[in-house]
Amino acid sequence: MTEREFATEVVARLTARGFTALWAGGCVRDELLGLVPADYDIATDATPEQVQASFRRSNSFGASFGVVEVLGPRGDDGAWLKVQVATFRSDGTYSDGRRPDSVTYSSPEEDAKRRDFTVNGMFFDPTTGIVTDYVGGQADLRDRVLRAIGDPVARFTEDKLRVLRAVRMAARFGLAIEPATFAAVRAMATQVTTVSAERVGEELRKILTHPERVRGVELMRDAGLVTPILPQAAAPIDDALHRLRALPARVSFELAFAALLPPLDAKATAKVARHLRLSNDEAARIGWLVAHRDALDDAAMLPLSKLKSLLAHAGAAELVALHRARGADAGVAFTERFLAETPAGELDPAPLITGDDLAALGMTPGPAFKRILAAVRDAQLENRLPSRTAALALAETLRRS
C-alpha cells in the first residue's frame, strides 16, 4: 500500500462513520500541481477522541491541538504508514510566535482561514475528486501567485517563520509573491530572529537543497532576510549567488551551504554552525569544505601526499564541485585527470606501519609518534616506500634524527 492509498483509506473510513474528512494543506497543493506529496494531512469534524476510536492504532501526541497521528500497515517501501488527522479548528493568539495559545474546534471554512497561504488553504476529497476552496487557492495556483490568507502581517505575526517559508515556497513552486504579502515579508524580515535556530536551519536546508536554490537566496536578499539569518554572507551575496548558480541541480546541504558562505576561518565557520544548531556531521563537513575551498586551485603543484589525502576524504566530490563553482577550472581539470588515472586504492592505502611498530622499535609513546607516523605516511603516499621494510627503516632513521 502506498501512502496515498492509506490517506485515502483514512478519509473513506471517517466518512463511512458519518464524519467530514478531507485532505488538507500542502498535499492538496501538490496534488493539483501533479506532484507527489511528501506527506498527507487530513482535516475532519471528528474530535480527537472520535478519530482514535475509529482506528486501531494511533498516537495522540498533538491532541491538545486537535491532532492525532493514525498509523497504518507497512508501505511499499517497508516503512510504517502514518497520516496526521486534525480536527477543523480556529486558533487563538500566538504569544510565542509559533503555536496558538488555544484552539477552538470550528468549521472547514474557519480552519482554512487560519492557515498561512492560499495555496496551502485548500481541501480535497480523494474519494470524489472534489476540491473545497474558501480562500482562492486554486486561482492563485493557476496564476502562479503566493498570497497570504487574509492580512499578511497578522499571518506572519502568528508565526514569524512564515516570512522565510514564503521565500522557500515561492522559489520551490515558481510562484510570484503577491505585493502585499512581499511587503509584509520585508517589513517583518528582522523578526525572523525570534524563531528558534533549529526551525530557521531546517528552512535553509530546504531552500539550499532544492534545484531553485538560487531564486530562493535571491528572494532572501530582496526581502532583507540574509542579514538577520546569515550576516556573514550578506555583504558578498552576489559572489555567493555566482557560486550557487554553478552548482549541479541536486547537491547536499553541506555543499550548498559552503558555497553560500564567504571565506571564513575555522572558528567563524563553527560559530555559524552552532548558531543554526546544525548537526555535528553537517558542521564538520561544512567546516572542512570551507577550510579547503581553495586547496585544489593549484592541484598540480601540491605534494602527492597532500593531494591524495584531500581526494581520499569523504567530501572530496563536494570539494571538487565547490572549486568548479568558484571557477577554479585549471585545478578542477587536473584533479579530474588525476582521479581518472589513479586507482581508488592508491588514494588511501592501508598504512605500512602503525604505532605498535614504533613501540617495537623501542620508542616510548609521545609527540614523536605522531611526527614519525605522519612522515612515513607522506612518504608512502608519495610512492617513495616500496615496502613495509622500507617504511620501518625510514621510521628508524627518523627516530635517530
> Cβ(195)–Cβ(156) under 8 Å?
no
Indicate which residue of 39, 76, 101, 298 is catalytic: 39
Polymer length in residues for the chain:
401
> Cβ(8)–Cβ(126) under 8 Å?
yes
Give the C-alpha separation, 394 to 364, whole Å.
Answer: 17
The answer to whether 265 is a known catalytic residue is no
Q: Pick from 239, 305, 230, 242: which is nearest to 272 by CA?
A: 230
Secondary structure of residue 315 in the 3-state scheme: coil
Secondary structure of residue 263 in the 3-state scheme: coil
**Cell numbers representing residue 100 in the block:** 496558538
- Cα 159–156–217 angle (5° rounding)? 95
- What is the dihedral angle through the alpha carbons of 98, 104, 105, 108, rounded to the nearest 10 degrees? -60
Indicate which residue of 91, 111, 116, 140 is catalytic: 116
Please name the residues in contact with 49: beta carbons below 8 A apart, sequence gap of 6 or more.
Answer: none
> Cβ(93)–Cβ(113) under 8 Å?
no
The answer to whether 329 is a known catalytic residue is no
Give the C-alpha separation, 47 to 64, whole Å.
Answer: 11
> Cβ(155)–Cβ(91) under 8 Å?
no
Q: Pick from 241, 259, 252, 247: which is nearest to 282 by CA?
A: 252
Give the C-alpha separation, 235 to 309, whole Å.
Answer: 33
The answer to whether 101 is a known catalytic residue is no
Give the C-alpha separation, 261 to 160, whole Å.
Answer: 24
Catalytic residue IDs: 39, 41, 116
